[in-house]
Amino acid sequence: MARMLVLFALLWDCTTSLLGAENTAHYRPPHPFAKIWARTIGFSFVGAAGLLISYTLIFSRHRLQETSSKWMLFTGICVLPTPVMFLSTAVGLEQSKNVEFCMSCHVMKPFTDDLKDPASKTLAALHYKNRYIQREHCYRCHTDYGILGTMEAKMAGLGHVWKAGTGSYKLPIKMSKRYNFAICLDCHAESAKFDKEAAHDGVVKETAAGKGNCLDCHDSPHPPPATRAKE
């Protein structure tokens, strides 16, 4: 009985991981099909694993020494739960792109409050209220493009979660390195509104070369430390 409880606990952990990633209050997957696909396959594997384990330990308990029973038990414990863990991890990583995920850290509250403040003049607030970025607003501006940029952002994000959980971050919050303003070009470089400004002549080339700084002309992207009520 104890062995069965341990095995079903492992399956329950996989199931709750998938449910937890999916049922988070503000979770919005990029495409509805991805949500259905991940949920259907995940629960199918969990169900199949549960049936195999139940059949092997209850109905074939007297034959546990047989090779077929061992393979069925191995499949239910090790093989089928593995893709469920990968799926729940993938959904969780996708969820971390949402603004609501950033809001879940107390230290980020002044930044997200400013982001959603219609009266704010910061670049983040202007982008948000005018929907210059349609979704994943924080992620789009803080992630270099390409697979290496995404991997770097995810690794940095794990560090942020650790610091938030342990309270080991240092105030005031600031960038750990110089911001790469070339990220801005991914949206603005071919924008008609951007191109019609005479002041932007030569900006794309200079910024792409790592020499440009948008803040030479534009307001701060976030409220300065002195104006943040709490972090």
DSSP 79-148: ITHHHHHHHHHHHHHHHTTSHHHHHTSGGGHHHHHHHT-TT--SHHHHHHHTTSS-S-HHHHHSS-SSHH
Number of domains in the chain: 2
Range of the domain at 12: 2-95
Q: Which of 113-122, 151-160, 209-218 has the lowest mean pLDDT?
A: 151-160
**Predicted local distance difference test score (pLDDT) of residue 29:** 42
Rounded Cα gap, residues 33 and 2, in angstroms:
39
Residue 172: cis peptide before it, omega within 30 degrees of 0: yes
Pick from 50, 74, 95: which residue ends a domain? 95
The most confident of 47-56, 61-70, 148-157, 190-199, by mean pLDDT: 190-199
pLDDT at residue 125 greater than cutoff 90: yes
In terms of domains, do 55 and 75 share one? yes
Could you report the per-residue pLDDT of 15-60, keeping only the tens digit for each? 444 444 443 333 344 445 556 677 677 778 888 888 878 877 776 6
Pick from 95, 118, 146: which residue ends a domain? 95
Phi and psi at residue 130, to the nearest 5°: -90, 0
In terms of domains, do 90 and 129 share one? no
In terms of domains, do 73 and 132 share one? no
In terms of domains, do 159 and 206 share one? yes
What mean pLDDT is predicted for residues 131-154? 81
**What CATH number should be reported for the domain holding residue 152?**
1.10.3820
